[in-house]
A and B are shown apart, each in its own frame.
Chain A
Amino acid sequence: MTGPDAGDDPVEIDCRELPCPRPVIELARALPSVAVGGLLAVVARDPAARHDVPAWCRMRGQEYVGEEAADDGAPRYVVRRLS
């Protein structure tokens, strides 16, 4: 489906050092700062984020775009605000 591209730079939140469930809490807090249709990226090393960011999107009616790697190699999970 759609992936983040150069013209569509996501807002990034750094949750590298935060334990579960903090990355998802920060994601929920940051979402209102993104325009509907815009992208938000969570960088998190916590292994639960890989499952919980997509689950959060499903439960909250947002779109999970996919996982990529941040510049330092940390997993980065991209979300599109739908509402």
Chain B
Amino acid sequence: MTGYLDTASAEPLHPAAREALLAALERGYADPRRLHHPGRDARLLLENARAVVAECLGVRSDEVGFTASGTDAVHRGLLGLVSARRSRGDGVVHTAVEHSSVLHAVGWRPSPAHVAVGVDRDGRVDPEEVAAAARNPGVVAVAVQAANQEVGTLQPVDDLDLPDDLPLFVDAAAAVGRVPLPRRWSALAASAHKWGGPPGVGVLAVRRSARWTTPFPGDDGLDQPGGFADVPGALAAAAALQAVLADREETAARQHRLVERVRAAAAALPDTEVVGHPVERLPHLVTFSCLYVGGDELVAGLDRRGFAVASGSACTASSLEPSHVLAAMGALTHGNVRVSLRRDTTEDEVDAFCSALVECVTEIRAGAGL
């Protein structure tokens, strides 16, 4: 796993998740809605998973459900808040740097009342600007992420002063297991493979006090949103989250220091800017952009040297459009690299990465005659 520095896309399976998954695959096959013994066994495992995740998120068990993915949790969470207020309007106020799953959910039902609120150079939204937009007529929900998935900037979610009856949706996929979560929200979504759980397991939390109805066919509950639950996956996700949170502060402090080294190495490169808030940020993630270098060339060059990183540059995207996050920040979109550390990334590995980066950027620029 050495050299894998793309945990913000997918964290390798945590050993605690592997163990729980294997045990639950044996025991948790039945339909948790059935009253027979195997069904009751599966129900027990599912309820155990809900209870653990609920405790980790600081909510009640019946406020948590498992979905087919983080994207699915976002869609159900946000659109469910909108559906419950259909009679009052359909507008959503959101930051311009939300994850594409949030933007897709907002765009699914176009409305003149939708507002995208811009961010500053660090990628941070102004809570007062969000609160002002939230008072527009026809606005029925607000969506603000806990932390940005591309540049790591934490958003001031708890500073939002919203009207009492206006629900807040928080996409916490980048933040869960990494930083303390915002406290004031109506619905929150997360994704297990971002914290070392298995892929294909999303988490949707909806407070009992929030008005929420399922936006898709099915029952209005969180027991099994979207159909038959992946009981082993849910249990493995819960086990990983519990394990990750047990040493979160220690891991975060170590990663924070290691990221500081990458930030310094990138900032020392000529014509390179580190993007994202330098202090109010996720501990394990750093993004920077290098002038005159293609993001695809950089990803390939680092891959040849044994390092796996992500890029928000257009040439690495299927859409050929550069990252909407970098664009909203006014940051350079080409030559972009996002580095996100594993829990066991070492100092030596980070230093080797920094050397490879310097080599790679120098080589590509020399190839372009610069």
Interface size class of B (residues with CB under 8 A): 20 to 34
The CA of A56 and the CA of B370, in the complex, are separated in Å by 15
Which among B147-155, B194-202, B258-266, B315-323 touches the partner chain?
A: B315-323
Instruction: Select from chain B the residue with minimum beta-carbon distance to A56.
Output: B291
Question: Is B330 interfacial (CB-CB < 8 Å)?
Answer: yes
Q: Within 8 Å CB of B322, what residues of A?
A: 20, 47-48, 51-52
- B273 to A51, Cβ gap below 8 A? no
Residues of A within 8 A of B (CB): 19-21, 24-25, 28, 46-48, 50-52, 54-56, 58-60
Please determine whether A55 and B315 come into contact, CB atoms closer than 8 angstroms: no
A21 touches B273 (CB 8 A): no
Chain B residues whose C-beta falls within 8 Å of the C-beta of A47 in the assembled complex: 314, 320-322
Whole-angstrom distance between the alpha carbons of A71 and B327 in the complex?
26
Q: How many A-B residue pairs have CB under 8 A?
A: 60
From A19, A25, A56, residue with most partner B Cβ within 10 Å: A25
B61 at the interface (CB under 8 A from A): no
Complex contacts, B315 vs chain A, CB 8 Å? 19-20
CB distance from A8 to the nearest CB of B (A): 26
* 26 CB-based A-B contacts, threshold 8 Å: A19-B315, A20-B315, A20-B322, A20-B333, A20-B334, A21-B293, A21-B334, A21-B335, A24-B291, A24-B292, A28-B291, A28-B292, A28-B370, A47-B320, A47-B321, A48-B322, A50-B327, A51-B330, A51-B331, A51-B333, A52-B332, A52-B334, A54-B330, A55-B289, A56-B291, A59-B332
Whole-angstrom distance from the CB of A83 to the nearest CB of chain B? 15
Residues of chain B within 8 A (CB-CB) of A25 are 292, 368, 370
- Interface of chain B: mostly helix, strand, loop or mixed: loop
B271: interface (CB < 8 Å): yes
Given contacts A47-B314, A59-B273, contact A21 B326 (CB under 8 A): no
CB atoms of A21 and B320 under 8 A apart: no
State the CA gap A3–B370 with chains docked (Å): 30
Q: State in angstroms the CA–CA spacing of A20 and B294 once bound together.
A: 7
- Shortest CB–CB separation between residue A58 and chain B, in angstroms? 7
Residue of A nearest to B271 (CB): A59
Residues of B within 8 A of A56 (CB): 291, 332
Within the complex, the shortest CB–CB distance from A76 to chain B, in Å, comes to 19
